[in-house]
Amino acid sequence: MKPIIKYLILTLFSTQINFAQTFDPKLISKDSEIYLTETKKRGIEKNGVIYLVEENLKTISAYKNKKTIWQTNVISICGKPQVGETKIRSLKYDNTKLHIVFGKHSFAEVDIKNGLTKFIGED
């Protein structure tokens, strides 16, 4: 194997390990709902899975045992909101979905098993 390919594989592997371990546990709530505009918390932990709004405030990732299960960019999938900033404002967990508010009054749902994201609408 060529040295450059070995280097790229090693770099990719180490990046993935480090990425999954970078979130601060102090930013994770045990509550079922967080409002990013009112708290420094950025994630919810339920049943051993952490659902985290990433630093760009557009992406949600699910982690289990510090490994990424899935990741979804809510804004890319649902589109820019008509009113408000282009970022996630709140995250609410129920047994099957994450309910997302982004912009001012735009809504999405994310399946907690696979990250499948669905735009619900705006008011």
Query: What residue ranges do the domains of the chain occupy?
Result: 24-122
- Across the chain, what does the average pLDDT equal? 86
pLDDT of residue 98: 98
Euclidean distance between CA atoms 123 and 4, whole angstroms:
52
Dihedral, 16, 49, 26, 42 alpha carbons, nearest 10 = 80
Output the pLDDT for position 64. Answer: 95
Write out pLDDT tens, residues 103-122: 999 999 999 999 999 999 99
pTM for the whole structure:
0.81
DSSP label of 123: -
CATH 2.60.40.10 fits 24-122, yes or no: no
Q: For residue 121, what is the enclosing H or E element?
A: strand 117-122
Q: Which of 44, 45, 48 is nearest to 100 (CA)?
A: 44
How does pLDDT run across 38-80, given as a tens digit for each residue?
Answer: 999 999 999 999 999 999 999 999 999 989 999 999 999 999 9
The confidence band for 1, taking pLDDT boundaries of 50, 70 and 90, is low
Q: In which band, very low, low, confident or very high, does the pLDDT at 23 lie, cut at 50, 70 and 90? A: confident
Q: Residue 117's CB: how many other CB atoms inside 10 A?
A: 20
Determine what percent of the chain is predicted with pLDDT higher than 90: 78
